Amino acid sequence: MPRPIRAAISASALAHNLAVARRHAGAAKIWAVIKANAYGHGLERAARALAAADGFAVLDFQEAARLRVAGIDKPVLMLEGVFKPLDVPLLHKYALTPVIHSAAQVDMLRTVEPGGPIDIYLKLNSGMNRLGFTLENLGASYQALRENPRVKSITLMTHFADADGATGVKAQLEWFGEMTKSFPHRRSLANSAALLRFPEAHGEWVRPGIMLYGCSPFADRPAETFDLKPAMTLTSEIIATQHLQPGERVGYGFSYEAVGELDIGIVACGYADGYPRHAPVGTPVLVNGQRTRIVGRVSMDMIMVDLSGIPAAGIGTPVTLWGEGLSADEVGAAAGTLSYELLCALAPRVPVAEVA
């Protein structure tokens, strides 16, 4: 028998969350962001469940090719565009829309024949200072793209650094407007946070990611307040129990010491499954649907959980690490990270079951 850990991916939750995004997007079209193996949910599986999206956004050309092989014929946005000249012919071959964020990429499009006309996204750096053109270098590249006969259409794009935070999008939105005021093109601006929070910052194509997986982009607002449903539920079972006497310790480094007598369960889930190693004592977990906490250090294949108040728990008792009943946002916050990182880190060794 395989170890009892598994991830259940709910196709109906994905479809439901897309419908939520649709309600917020209004008339804007939706790129469903399925980079990073659809945030750990499985690329093809997520694309099927999110079939009502207007297009899909990925990073890797391998991911893009897999979508085409799977028969998905919607537009595909390459979020970092081409990496090397050899990528250029793939654009037309697979009908991909590259983000063009650097003069080097503009040159690649000029010097390598893409094989046919392509749509492009022109990415502007409106303040995040990661990818994109600034006002200083925008003009020349824009001109070169306009003169490139293979470029069939241009959409203007930017990315917000703090749509979920205190700064918001105002300054970036204004600067983006200033930089593009003489360019009559469609715009794509919003990630999940901006889609949910700033209707004025949507543009014609929005780019939700995390919300499609049922998590919240906001630290202070749970996903269910947006009617989002967790798409991934990571479960396992207790494979052993221990009864500790006061003063006895548990796990590597003996880092947790039992104050009184303490029953603990050993769960088949560790950092090699994608559970965050830095999750501290107290990180929430469900045992038989009941909320408790982890104790001791997360090890490669196991974690230990407090069974106080769950007397019926024993070998074979089900455990939920995150998902239905316990938000990955909450587990991520307890572990000093984000649901994004937990979902993406789901390890290949964890069997995945698709559920309705």
DSSP bridge pairs for 186: 155
* Torsion, CA 85, CA 87, CA 88, CA 90, rounded to 10: 160
- Using CB under 6 A as the binding rule, whether residue 208 contacts ligand PLP is answered as yes
Residue number with CB closer to ligand PLP (208 or 265)? 208
| 100: three-class secondary structure by DSSP | strand
**Nearest approach, Cβ of residue 129 and ligand PLP (Å):** 14
Eight-state DSSP code of residue 232: E
**Nearest approach, Cβ of residue 57 and ligand PLP (Å):** 7
Query: For residues 96 and 62, is the Cβ–Cβ distance under 8 A?
Result: no
For this structure, is 74 an active site residue? no
Taking residue 192's Cβ as centre, other Cβ atoms within 10 Å add up to 27
- Using CB under 6 A as the binding rule, whether residue 101 contacts ligand PLP is answered as no
The contact pattern for ligand PLP, residues 157-186, with x = CB under 6 A and - = no contact, is: --x---------------------------
- Using CB under 6 A as the binding rule, whether residue 217 contacts ligand PLP is answered as yes
DSSP character string of 150-195: TEEEEEEE---S-TTSSS-SHHHHHHHHHHTTT---EEE---HHHH
On the 0-12 / 13-18 / 19+ scale of CB atoms within 10 A, 62 is exposed
How many residues in the shown chain lie near ligand PLP by CB under 6 A? 12
- Using CB under 6 A as the binding rule, whether residue 202 contacts ligand PLP is answered as no
Options 35, 39, 213, 275, the catalytic residue: 35
- Cβ neighbours of residue 64 closer than 8 Å, sequence gap 6 or more: 58, 76, 78, 90, 94, 96
Instruction: State which residue has the least CB distance to ligand PLP.
Output: 209
- Using CB under 6 A as the binding rule, whether residue 79 contacts ligand PLP is answered as yes
Query: Nearest-CA neighbor of 317 among 332, 329, 330, 305?
Result: 305
- Using CB under 6 A as the binding rule, whether residue 197 contacts ligand PLP is answered as no
Eight-state DSSP code of residue 242: E
Query: Nearest-CA neighbor of 134 among 144, 125, 143?
Result: 125
**Nearest approach, Cβ of residue 355 and ligand PLP (Å):** 23
Query: Nearest-CA neighbor of 298 among 336, 326, 247?
Result: 336
Query: For residues 17 and 211, is the Cβ–Cβ distance under 8 A?
Result: yes
Residues 291 to 330 in contact with ligand PLP, rule: CB under 6 A: none
Query: For residues 351 and 237, is the Cβ–Cβ distance under 8 A?
Result: no
Query: Nearest-CA neighbor of 187 among 200, 199, 204?
Result: 204
**Nearest approach, Cβ of residue 348 and ligand PLP (Å):** 21
Options 84, 181, 252, 256, the catalytic residue: 252
For this structure, is 142 an active site residue? no
- Using CB under 6 A as the binding rule, whether residue 77 contacts ligand PLP is answered as no
Binding ligand PLP (rule: CB under 6 A), the pick from 41, 150, 202, 207 is 207
**Nearest approach, Cβ of residue 263 and ligand PLP (Å):** 39
Residue number with CB closer to ligand PLP (97 or 320)? 97
Residue number with CB closer to ligand PLP (225 or 245)? 225
Binding ligand PLP (rule: CB under 6 A), the pick from 141, 155, 191, 320 is 191
Binding ligand PLP (rule: CB under 6 A), the pick from 102, 125, 141, 192 is 192
| 122: three-class secondary structure by DSSP | strand
**Nearest approach, Cβ of residue 212 and ligand PLP (Å):** 8
**Nearest approach, Cβ of residue 3 and ligand PLP (Å):** 30
Catalytic residues: 35, 252
Residues near ligand PLP (CB under 6 A) are 33, 35, 79, 159, 191-193, 207-210, 217
